[in-house]
């Protein structure tokens, strides 16, 4: 598929190579995969000379295509890519359409220990996709319904031409063993046990939704992070 056509596709697929853990490096492990120079394909390393050579651009087209398996994606990120760079490619393009009523989702997939949680939640020092997306939505785009966020509302009068206002809410659910659990509210088993097995229903206007799911209104990025980590 041509690059321009892939860029406009509704579903795009990206891959990120996880860096080696310190214990893996100490045990002599090496990268098993590398990324092609154009950042659209990954392939297994078949010889030490082809190991992690992307930085020096030593991998030729003919060389990597001789590998046993080549996998193509919309974009591939090597083990040195930052989450900020990944956000610019994956999450940032979803923010403007979201504010115009177009739904967007980011699904992470991979085996245990492959870095899904790190990419989504980040660390204390390095923000994950959730925090970066919240910054983009709450700080760089549309105004919100809260009067506290916009104390000059009354001075604007009834100007119908003013920018639309939004209410931003956060929910936090997990789907485990085909059961939907709400991680923001306690279930029947009490504190620290989420509300479990909530029903999924369909509404003519809302579409599919989780009935009884808690939605926490937020105004700042700090509100979002506090809600998710409480």
- Does 7 share its domain with 64? yes
116 annotated as a binding-site residue: yes
Final residue belonging to a domain, choices 141, 163, 185? 163
108 annotated as a binding-site residue: no
Give 188-207 pLDDT, tens digit per residue. Answer: 665 666 788 899 999 998 88
The H-assigned helical ranges of the chain are 3-7, 22-26, 61-64, 83-90, 92-99, 116-121, 129-139, 153-156, 221-229
- More reliable by pLDDT, 95 or 137: 95
Final residue belonging to a domain, choices 136, 163, 190? 163
The distance from CA 199 to its chain's CA centroid, rounded to whole angstroms, is: 25
Confidence band (pLDDT; 50, 70, 90) for 48? very low
Virtual CA dihedral for 132, 137, 138, 139, nearest 10 degrees? 70
- Does 66 share its domain with 96? no
Quote the pLDDT of residue 159: 53
How many structural domains is the chain composed of? 2
Final residue belonging to a domain, choices 112, 141, 163? 163
28 annotated as a binding-site residue: no
111 annotated as a binding-site residue: yes
The distance from CA 189 to its chain's CA centroid, rounded to whole angstroms, is: 31
Q: How far apart are CA 77 and CA 82, in angstroms?
A: 9
Predicted TM-score of the model (pTM)? 0.70
115 annotated as a binding-site residue: yes
Is 48 domain-assigned?
Answer: yes
Q: Is the pLDDT of residue 152 over 50?
A: no
- Does 65 share its domain with 137? no
């Amino acid at each position: 598929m041509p690059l321009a056509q892939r860029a406009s596709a509704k579903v795009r697929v990206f891959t990120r190579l996880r860096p080696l853990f310190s214990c893996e490096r100490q045990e002599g492990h090496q990268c098993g995969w590398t990324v092609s120079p154009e950042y659209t394909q990954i392939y297994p390393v078949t010889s030490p000379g082809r190991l992690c050579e992307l930085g020096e651009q030593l991998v030729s087209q003919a060389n990597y295509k001789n590998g046993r398996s080549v996998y193509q994606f919309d974009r591939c990120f090597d083990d040195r890519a930052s989450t900020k760079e990944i956000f610019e490619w994956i999450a940032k393009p979803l923010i403007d359409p979201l504010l115009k009523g177009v739904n967007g989702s980011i699904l992470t997939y991979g085996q245990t220990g492959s870095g899904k949680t790190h990419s989504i939640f980040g660390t204390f020092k390095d923000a994950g996709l959730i925090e970066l997306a919240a910054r983009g939505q709450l700080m760089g785009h549309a105004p919100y319904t809260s009067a506290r966020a916009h104390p000059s509302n009354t001075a604007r009068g009834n100007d119908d031409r003013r920018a639309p206002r939004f209410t931003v809410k956060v929910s936090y659910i997990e789907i485990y063993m085909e059961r939907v659990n709400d991680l923001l509210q306690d279930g029947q088993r009490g504190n620290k046990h989420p509300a479990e097995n909530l029903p999924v229903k369909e509404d003519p206007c809302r579409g599919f939704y989780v009935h009884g799911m808690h939605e926490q209104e937020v105004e700042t990025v700090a509100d979002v992070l506090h809600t998710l980590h409480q």
